[in-house]
Amino acid sequence: MSASSSRAIQVLTHSPGTMIGVVLVMLHLAVAVFAPLLIPYGETQLVGAPLLAPGHPDFLLGTDAIGRDYFSRLLMGGRTSITVAMVGVLGAVLFATLIGVSAAYIGGLYDDVVMRIVDTKLSMPGILFVSLFVIGFGRSVVVLTIVIGISYFPGAVRTIRAQALTQVPLDYVKAARLRGESALSVILRELTPNVAEVVVVEFAIRTSSAILIVSALSFLGLGISPPTPDWGLMVSESVNQIYAAPWLVLLPAAFISSLVVGLNFASDGLANALGLDAARGLHRS
């Protein structure tokens, strides 16, 4: 183990892209966690004249169209979507590990049913999928988190099952069966540790994809609702100002982009370090 993890660290630190990615993600996470301590004004409070330009002595990055401090809104603007994406994807990936590994191990009709459900979801473009839920269940952070979980579950099942399928024919599984280990014990004790790397990379890749989708939904008015600050929402709220105040669009755009770029560089490096092919898992829908 130590040999392979030190090799992993070596690969990670040898790639400048990965380092930049890790630093970006760390910065974003730190800002998201400590934003309430860093912001000079309440993120939803009307504190100044509307549309002040950046560089104003009281408002570092100016104010938005109705006079809220833009710096405070930007710092707070990632919290909701990052939380929704991470919680949703974490749930999806954990559950997918259990289902994917068991489908690979048990096979037969169970595997068939699981895979047809997976095929069905993979045929539904992400935004269409979510809009069905939004019209059915309304718009709230909880619904959004659950929907993100449901939409990332099938793809994760597919990848994790594929990895588990490479392990199932191996003799250590046969040895465990011959020892009389229960199916659950084989799945959890023998197989799951051998798909752990894929699970970690799945989590990383799908979290970045989920952040993309949550911000796109907010931009479309299907995700996080005002007055909560959210980068996607802030871009769409500022569309009418692109002539007068293009920074109102560009600043949140830069925040969201740098977060996802950082996440993807980091997960690409992580996948390389673990000897997996990140490109296969990439997902853009």
- Provide CB contacts within 8 A for 223, sequence distance 6+: 81, 139, 144, 214, 215, 216, 217, 230, 232, 233
Q: Which residue lies nearer to other proteins by CB, 33 or 170?
A: 170
When binding is defined by CB under 8 A, the residue of 5, 7, 34, 58 that contacts other proteins is 7
Q: Can residue 37 be called a binding residue for other proteins (CB under 8 A)?
A: no
Residue 180 DSSP code:
T
264-283: which residues touch other proteins (CB under 8 A)? 264-265, 268, 277, 279-280, 282-283
* Backbone phi, psi, residue 78, to 5°: -100, -15
Q: Which of 65, 127, 188, 200 binds other proteins (CB under 8 A)?
A: 127
| Among positions 36, 172, 183, 275, the unique one binding other proteins when judged by CB under 8 A | 172
Q: Would you state the structure tokens that stand for residue 272, as one six-digit string?
A: 């390389």
Contact with other proteins (CB under 8 A) among 19, 39, 42, 129: 129
Q: Is residue 203 part of the contact set for other proteins (CB under 8 A)?
A: no
Q: Is 170 in the site for other proteins (CB under 8 A)?
A: yes
Q: Is 204 in the site for other proteins (CB under 8 A)?
A: no
Of 82 and 213, the one with the shorter C-beta distance to other proteins is 213
Please answer whether residues 233 and 144 qualify as being in contact, where contact means their C-beta atoms are separated by less than 8 angstroms. no
Among positions 37, 55, 57, 284, the unique one binding other proteins when judged by CB under 8 A: 284
**What is the nearest approach in angstroms of other proteins to the Cβ of residue 93?**
17
Separation CA 282–CA 285 (nearest Å) = 10
- Closer Cβ to other proteins, 41 or 231, answer by number: 231
DSSP symbol at 48: S
Distance CA 93, CA 101 (A): 12
Decide: 229 and 77 in contact? Cβ < 8 Å.
yes
Degrees to nearest 5, angle at CA 46 with 45 and 50: 140
SS3 154: helix
Among 33, 49, 242, 275, binds other proteins (CB under 8 A): 242
The answer to whether the peptide bond before residue 227 is cis (omega within 30 degrees of 0) is yes
The residue behind tokens 């994917």 is 100
**Please, which residue, 44 or 194, has the CB nearer to other proteins?**
194
Q: Does 119 bind other proteins (CB under 8 A)?
A: yes
3-state secondary structure at position 43:
coil
Told to check if 175 binds other proteins by CB under 8 A, we report yes
- Give the Cβ contact number of residue 94 at 10 Å: 15
- Size (the chain), residues: 285
Stretch that binds other proteins, among 57-65, 70-78, 90-98, 253-261 (CB under 8 A): 253-261
Instruction: Tell me, residue by residue from 205 to 234, as one string, x for binding to other proteins by CB under 8 A and - for no binding.
Output: ---x---xx-xx--xxxx---------x--
Nearest approach in angstroms of CB 116 to other proteins is: 6
152 binding other proteins? (CB under 8 A): no
| 133 is a contact residue toward other proteins (CB under 8 A) | yes
